[in-house]
Amino acid sequence: MSEFSVIGRRLPKVNSWAHLTGQARYADDLFLPRMLYGRLLRSTRPHARIRRVDTSRALAHPGVVAVVTGADMPEKMGIMPSTQDETALAVDRVRYVGEPVAAVAAFDEDTAFDALSLIQIDYEDLEPIFTIEEALEREDVKIHDEAKRANVFKEVHLSFGDLEGGFGAADHLRDDWFFFERNTHAPIESHSAVASYGPDDKLTLWTATQVPHYLHRELEKVLGLPRSRIRVIATPNGGAFGGKSDPFGHEFAAALLSMRTRRPVKITLDREEVFYAHRGRHPVKMRIRTGVKKDGEITAVHYQSWLDGGAYASYGIATTYYTGALLTVTYRIPAYKFDGVRVYTNKPPCGPKRGHGTTQPRYGFECQIDKIAEDLDLDPLEYRKKILQPANSRTVNDLRITSMGLGECLDALQRSTRYSERRGQLGTGKGIGLAGSAYISGAGLPIYWNEMPHSGAEIRIDRGGGVTVMCGTSEIGQGSDNMLASVAAEALGVMPADVHVVSGDTSLAPVDLGSYSSRVTFMAGNAVRDAAMKLRALLVAAAAEKLEVPAERLLTAYGRIYDRDDPAKFITFADAAVLAESKHGTLVAAGSYKPPKGIGGSFKGAGVGPTPAYSYQAAVAEVTVDMDTGMVTVDKVTTAHDCGRALNPANVEGQVEGSAYMGYGEIIGEEQVFRGGLHKKPSLLDYKIPTSLDTPVLEAIVVESVDAEGPFGAKEAGEGPLNPVIPAIANAVYDAIGVRFDETPITAEKILTALGKRDRRGERKTRIGPDGLDAGKADPKRALRRLTASTDARERKRPVS
Amino acid sequence: MTKQLLTLRVNGEPRTIAADTHHTLLEVLREELGLTGTKHGCELGECGACTVLVDGVPILACLTLPTLVGDSEVTTVEGLASAEDLHPLQVAFAEEGAAQCGYCTPGMLMTAKALLDTTARPTRAASLRAQGPLPLPLRKAGGTNATGAQLP
């Protein structure tokens, strides 16, 4: 029998009833009295100076109440305090098609929409930059004047261990280029915000955001309104995936329009706008050099990445570091060098998408590990098991590893799929592929430097035994409300359905930093557990006195506090609450969580990568390739995921399957691509996210390593499981047709090209992917020289020309 | 803008409203009748989030003008449960953990109801075909569970 009454059970989520009856209130479901409707005017130019904005005709349009422009909110803002380079609405320059420039509030949405066409903007076009290569070289065109070198946003170089010695000791060297295409989150709920500024000079903003606390800070800065007068309420997000974790122009515009009109204002983006809002997966070009001994032991890895960041910073500084930070946590790497460059281009800004910055290098690295296994004639599964980074260790880049279940994940996959026996044996057109991965359970540092908790929670017990949990987490569908209720319920001995949850409200709940970097279960879970254990102690002491049983013999479960040795001896939770309140006063307790010190290094850049616990996962994909049409059918994806402990197994499986689904979409066809700054497919018809009919059979295997520091042993489950699916499918396609796909996505067109069916000479290729910068079009040797020049410049301490 | 008087039968109740002639059934349900359980994801018939039943047949409310519905019975997610009991599908979805962010769930529920009302024991394939046009069930996950929840 389980030691738990709540944890580990497949109980319905506490908020599922609202979802299933249509009662859940998402931001666009809010209709307030006297509410106005806003729309944003967006730039039609990829790069232009704004000479003049004339809003007079729009303002005169019947039904229009207010118009605001960038000049009304010129304060710079952005999610990362050190790289704030955006304004809520463009002030004097636009840097991508779709950038918001002005906003209108009107009696209804149609009128607001009509009024947009009456705003006249006088643009002076500037030369746009669309590629990484142009951005690196064009000193004459600056997307941001502040960039020191051409259009480089951030350049990082980190080196650990003896790299040259490592490569020197290697028996075999692999040097591979990869490209990961840009793609976007495509949450089905578009972004929406409702602002209400009252006669008390207080602003309330209901918004579909993952980061109510960070938004709270930015609203203060941009609106010049003290934070004490602002309340942000994160409404349930209808999917987010990282796409709602920046402060967005429409949120500020709705707030300012409400302040100007003293009426509630709602702005909801349409689907096309969501594609331009983006902040999705960065396109990354990568070069990975790995040295190995004859038996496969890695001696050194040199990883280089070039990220196309789009027009603004977003999380880019973190993304850049993340491309290099986590490659070391899965397999033993004694020497490691990382060079990363993120550039600006005139496209919508890229940001964090599920797996934030780790997805692209993990794809490249796991494809390369597959190649190394083949070169050395090793079984890819056994090979990975042989080189695992051990539990309770430190990586070469000084990351603390605690629980580590990748080996168990690989074993579980072998049992479930018989990968090792089936690889290479399925016949032409059929293949099986494998990859491993890891992810963080929350970033070790907050995005702005402070010593305060990362997550706080408050619990109140009322006189009827009702429990209310308050925590600033944002429910984005990952199940955070249910996690809060479950952890509190387990600790106190009630059922989750008895717990009221107040989340995502900056006035009612203590700060939680937000639903990003898979931090909520670990950090908010620990904060809630902390608060609950304080109250539990009071209740148990009161019960011990009443029952005349030593407190350490008392257990709490199912609404009772009972004697372990004689369960018939109990008092109810509600009675214990009355006794405890009589003795101690109002039953309220606060708890908090901050990651421990010493989980990462102290070098510059060491802030990205550390986490209190890494999740581990691996996936096996089975594919069928139609040799005539080039269509790839993914028949099945099996993912094994080490989540520490599954607080609710059904919910963990849902997250693992959802991740597999999303990874499948990314490798099989999703691409956020542009032509002259215009999105080629800004609709769900053209940007093909998989439907039910496309989706493979998905199987999730939960592996529990029971982390010593996680709440009841839990780690993350929402992001990591995406990572291995992409390289597993690429490796399966190789097994099926003998072609390496060193770039995403794997489309039918590329397959036919590889099979020699689209080229007049009919030559088969063994690899599709880049050979260097310039997507392989340029002389690869020249690209390599340029690459060396760009990334080694700093270390050679030569002035960069 | 011209408004027209419309009488619709929604979830068993006659409802009379004045709506802009170009407004869709989706807009009328959400904005005039306050039935915000029906969601929008694209308003172009691409995602299926707005699926409601018209005389038991699933239709995309974002592509339907309310005048075309006439006297037919419109059922939204708010009409799925009775006063006493949840619909078995709602119970099954909850027990299987089929709803994650829940945003697409009303569209899936209505599609599933139409399927089960016409097919007593649908196969997994039939269930997937019914949800076929919907990319939404799986984006947040729970899709596999949602498919399972539709099967007897």
The predicted pLDDT at position B2 comes to 84
Residue with tokens 């000084």: A398
Q: What's the mean pLDDT in A719-726?
A: 98
The answer to whether B122 contacts chain A (CB < 8 Å) is: no
Q: For the beta carbon of residue B63, count every other beta carbon within 10 angstroms.
A: 14
pLDDT band at B150 (very low <50, low <70, confident <90, very high): low
Of the candidate ranges A339-348, A614-623, B130-139, the one whose mean pLDDT is the lowest: B130-139
- Looking at the structure, do residues B68 and B98 belong to the same domain, yes or no? no
- For residue A784, pLDDT beyond 60: no
The predicted pLDDT at position B120 comes to 80
The answer to whether B142 contacts chain A (CB < 8 Å) is: yes
**Per-residue pLDDT tens over the stretch A8-19:** 999 999 999 999
Are B132 and A695 a contacting pair at CB < 8 A? no
**Chain B hits for A659, Cβ within 8 Å:** 141
**Chain B hits for A188, Cβ within 8 Å:** 39, 41, 47, 49, 103-104, 135-136, 139
Total count of domains within chain B: 2
What is the distance in angstroms between the Cα of A468 and the nearest Cα belonging to chain B? 22
- Looking at the structure, do residues B45 and B100 belong to the same domain, yes or no? no
- For residue A114, pLDDT beyond 60: yes
Of the candidate ranges A30-44, A273-287, A339-353, A682-696, the one whose mean pLDDT is the lowest: A682-696
**Per-residue pLDDT tens over the stretch A345-355:** 999 999 999 99
The answer to whether B140 contacts chain A (CB < 8 Å) is: yes
| Of A212 and B46, the one with more pLDDT | A212
The predicted pLDDT at position B134 comes to 56
The answer to whether B28 contacts chain A (CB < 8 Å) is: no
Cα–Cα dist A586/A90, whole Å: 50
Are A659 and B99 a contacting pair at CB < 8 A? no
**Chain A hits for B101, Cβ within 8 Å:** 19, 187, 189, 236-240, 476-478
Of B31, B56, B79, the domain-final residue: B79
The answer to whether A601 contacts chain B (CB < 8 Å) is: no
Q: Which of A725, A605, A744, A603 is nearest to A663 (CA)?
A: A725
In total, the C-beta contacts within 8 angstroms joining chain A to chain B are: 180
**Chain A hits for B60, Cβ within 8 Å:** none
Which residues of chain A are in CATH 3.90.1170.50 domains? 31-126+188-240+244-277
Percent of chain A predicted with pLDDT > 70: 96
The predicted pLDDT at position B133 comes to 54
Residue A124 near residue A53 (C-beta atoms within 8 A): no
Are B49 and A188 a contacting pair at CB < 8 A? yes
The predicted pLDDT at position A789 comes to 52
- Looking at the structure, do residues B43 and B105 belong to the same domain, yes or no? no
CA angle centred on B124, ends A694 and B118, rounded to 5°: 115
Which residues of chain A are in CATH 3.30.365.10 domains? 16-23+453-593, 156-184+280-444+602-741
What is the distance in angstroms between the Cα of B70 and the nearest Cα belonging to chain A? 24
The answer to whether B11 contacts chain A (CB < 8 Å) is: no
Q: Which B positions 58-97 lie with beta carbon below 8 A of chain A? A: 76-78, 80-81, 86, 90, 93-97
Residue A561 near residue A574 (C-beta atoms within 8 A): no
| Of A156 and A781, the one with more pLDDT | A156
CA angle centred on A319, ends A316 and A324, rounded to 5°: 140
Q: What's the mean pLDDT in A231-243?
A: 97
- For residue B138, pLDDT beyond 50: no
CATH fold of the domain at A31-126+188-240+244-277: Aldehyde Oxidoreductase; domain 3 (3.90.1170)
- For residue A174, pLDDT beyond 90: yes
The answer to whether B134 contacts chain A (CB < 8 Å) is: yes
- Looking at the structure, do residues B62 and B14 belong to the same domain, yes or no? yes
Q: Which A positions 97-116 lie with beta carbon below 8 A of chain B? A: 110
- Looking at the structure, do residues B49 and B113 belong to the same domain, yes or no? no
Are A684 and B46 a contacting pair at CB < 8 A? yes
What is the distance in angstroms between the Cα of B49 and the nearest Cα belonging to chain A? 8
Locate the chain B residue with the closest alpha carbon to A26: B103
The answer to whether B104 contacts chain A (CB < 8 Å) is: yes
Residue B70 sits in a domain whose CATH number is 3.10.20.30
Of B27, B62, B79, the domain-final residue: B79
Percent of chain A predicted with pLDDT > 90: 94
The answer to whether B53 contacts chain A (CB < 8 Å) is: no
Q: Which residue segment(s) compose the domain that B133 sits in?
A: 88-150
Best to test chain A binding among B52, B91, B101 (most A CBs inside 10 Å): B101
- For residue A799, pLDDT beyond 90: no
Residue A796, judged by CB atoms within 10 A of its CB (0-12, 13-18, 19+), counts as exposed
The answer to whether B144 contacts chain A (CB < 8 Å) is: yes
- Looking at the structure, do residues B71 and B93 belong to the same domain, yes or no? no
The answer to whether A49 contacts chain B (CB < 8 Å) is: no
**Chain A hits for B20, Cβ within 8 Å:** 110
Cα–Cα dist A777/A760, whole Å: 19
CATH code for the structural domain at A156-184+280-444+602-741: 3.30.365.10
Q: What is A16-23+453-593's CATH number, 1.20.140.10, 3.30.365.10, 3.90.190.10, 3.40.50.2000? A: 3.30.365.10
Q: For the beta carbon of residue A579, count every other beta carbon within 10 angstroms.
A: 17
| Of A3 and A111, the one with more pLDDT | A111
Q: For the beta carbon of residue A428, count every other beta carbon within 10 angstroms.
A: 10
**Which tokens hold the place of A407?**
């080996």
What is the distance in angstroms between the Cα of B94 and the nearest Cα belonging to chain A? 5
**Chain A hits for B43, Cβ within 8 Å:** 270-271
pLDDT band at A801 (very low <50, low <70, confident <90, very high): very low
Locate the chain B residue with the closest alpha carbon to A475: B101
Q: What's the mean pLDDT in A358-381?
A: 98
- Looking at the structure, do residues B18 and B70 belong to the same domain, yes or no? yes
Cα–Cα dist A399/A672, whole Å: 33
Best to test chain B binding among A9, A10, A11, A16 (most B CBs inside 10 Å): A16
Of residues B94, B135, B136, nearest to A17 (C-beta): B94
Q: What's the mean pLDDT in A434-453?
A: 96
pLDDT band at A1 (very low <50, low <70, confident <90, very high): low
**Chain A hits for B35, Cβ within 8 Å:** 22
Residue B104 sits in a domain whose CATH number is 1.10.150
A729 contact partners, CB below 8 Å, separation of at least 6: A433, A621, A623, A632, A634, A637, A663, A664, A667, A668, A746
| β-strand partners of A430 | A624
The predicted pLDDT at position B83 comes to 87
Are A691 and B134 a contacting pair at CB < 8 A? yes
The predicted pLDDT at position A779 comes to 46
What value of ipTM does the predicted structure carry? 0.93
Of B58, B79, B100, the domain-final residue: B79
- For residue A2, pLDDT beyond 90: no
**Per-residue pLDDT tens over the stretch A675-714:** 999 999 999 999 999 988 899 999 999 999 999 999 999 9
The answer to whether B109 contacts chain A (CB < 8 Å) is: yes
- Mean pLDDT across chain A, nearest whole number? 95
